[in-house]
A = this chain, B = another copy of it.
């Protein structure tokens, strides 16, 4: 049986056609009221509508039907990696999410502040979701702690969350979480799941002892737990599998980090507006042939529950779109990594609108506008997000024929 990546390695060929994958994070939505339009349908998007009319629509299933994806698996899918096969550990995602580099052999964990009673038993597993302004200085103090055998880096994420990365020789990530998932009991020690990880467990336990001593007089967060011990997943690079010279244009550390895990060059962006990101694409147009562009605001406004602001974030992308199409990519796809309906104020499992524009090769369908209903009836049908990339390659004539 030929694996999907075997097939891609065999068929991928290089040419000078450029592919742009424009991801509006959390693009998919829901009507705010019964019978109404979704965010994308409510948005005035004349440029996207023109691309929809010239191109073809469909909808993607990010991980599986009914599965609400986190940002990590959702993006891996769009990059062509089956998110159920290529698992990136929680600790690694948390670390790369705040821009902490995780090299092969480094061990990353997600840290949570908690509160402990006088007997060391957990009273609140999230330290009352301590404010970021209060938590960040605590993480800075923890970042200064050092223990023999490894270098440890700590970085604040948000509220009670921080990322921790240990670097040193012979470390092993096969470790159990210290969060007992309950209050009234003390945090668990780090336990090795197999003998080889014993030294690493000891190391983290010593760090935890030092950290707990450091926090002892902090009533708001006098304890911590560690979860999701993991290391660089050593994903095959997009260049080795798909024959691309890929570049990432993203403002948020999380998306830059995930892109780095698949071997993309992460470009500098001067500014945070869509036009700033498109300018970064223009600057690298000659040196790369695949551009992943990440727009964060659509997701953020969805998570805020702000329908109108999400509509405006979509319109802002449309307003700047000419500077992207002026580059004349062979293939331009516009989609989301998942849905974030303002009505649900969170990521969701709903299929994601997908627009494929490729003047030389696309088979147009009858769609005239870009929206959920049009995508559900689109000519590309409903398909797994991991099938996006092969279709982009095909429309850029970068895949050989399979079989004689």
Q: Contact flags (1/0) for A334-364 with B, using CB distance below 8 Å?
A: 0000000100101111110000000001011
* A349 in complex: contacting residue of B84, B341, B373, B399, CB < 8 Å: B399
Pairwise interchain contact B393-A66, C-beta atoms closer than 8 A: yes
Interface centre among A4, A35, A65, by most chain B C-beta atoms within 10 angstroms, is A65
Pairwise interchain contact A72-B403, C-beta atoms closer than 8 A: yes
* A347 in complex: contacting residue of B94, B363, B401, CB < 8 Å: B401
Measured in the bound complex, the distance between the Cα atoms of B324 and A110 in whole Å is: 46
Chain A contact surface mostly = loop
Shortest CB distance A60–B (Å): 11
Number of residues in A with C-beta < 8 Å to the partner?
72
User: Using a CB-CB cutoff of 8 Å, which residues 347-404 of chain A contact chain B?
Assistant: 347-351, 361, 363-366, 372-373, 376-383, 387, 389-395, 399-404
Q: Contact flags (1/0) for A55-92 with B, using CB distance below 8 Å?
A: 00001000111111111111000000001110110100
Measured in the bound complex, the distance between the Cα atoms of B389 and A344 in whole Å is: 21
Query: Using Cβ atoms and an 8 Å threshold, which residues of chain B touch A383?
Result: 65, 382
Known: A7-B67, A390-B66. A381 touches B379 (CB 8 A): no
Whether, in the assembled complex, A11 has its beta carbon less than 8 Å from a beta carbon of chain B, the answer is yes
Pairwise interchain contact B381-A376, C-beta atoms closer than 8 A: yes
* A94 in complex: contacting residue of B30, B73, B401, B404, CB < 8 Å: B404
Q: Kindly report which residue of chain B lies nearest to residue A59, judged by CB atoms.
A: B381
Pairwise interchain contact A84-B365, C-beta atoms closer than 8 A: no
Pairwise interchain contact B373-A366, C-beta atoms closer than 8 A: yes
Query: Using Cβ atoms and an 8 Å threshold, which residues of chain B touch A73?
Result: 402-403
Query: Using Cβ atoms and an 8 Å threshold, which residues of chain B touch A35?
Result: 364
Whether, in the assembled complex, A263 has its beta carbon less than 8 Å from a beta carbon of chain B, the answer is no
Query: Using Cβ atoms and an 8 Å threshold, which residues of chain B touch A372?
Result: 363, 379
Measured in the bound complex, the distance between the Cα atoms of B351 and A31 in whole Å is: 29
Whether, in the assembled complex, A249 has its beta carbon less than 8 Å from a beta carbon of chain B, the answer is no
Task: Please name the 8 residue pairs, one residue from A and one from B, whose CB atoms are nearest each other, closest first.
Answer: A66-B390, A381-B382, A70-B403, A66-B394, A376-B379, A73-B403, A65-B387, A66-B391
CB<8 Å pairs between A and B, sample of 21: A2-B84, A31-B363, A34-B54, A38-B363, A65-B391, A65-B394, A66-B392, A66-B394, A66-B395, A67-B399, A70-B403, A73-B403, A74-B403, A87-B403, A347-B401, A348-B394, A351-B381, A363-B372, A366-B373, A376-B380, A382-B382
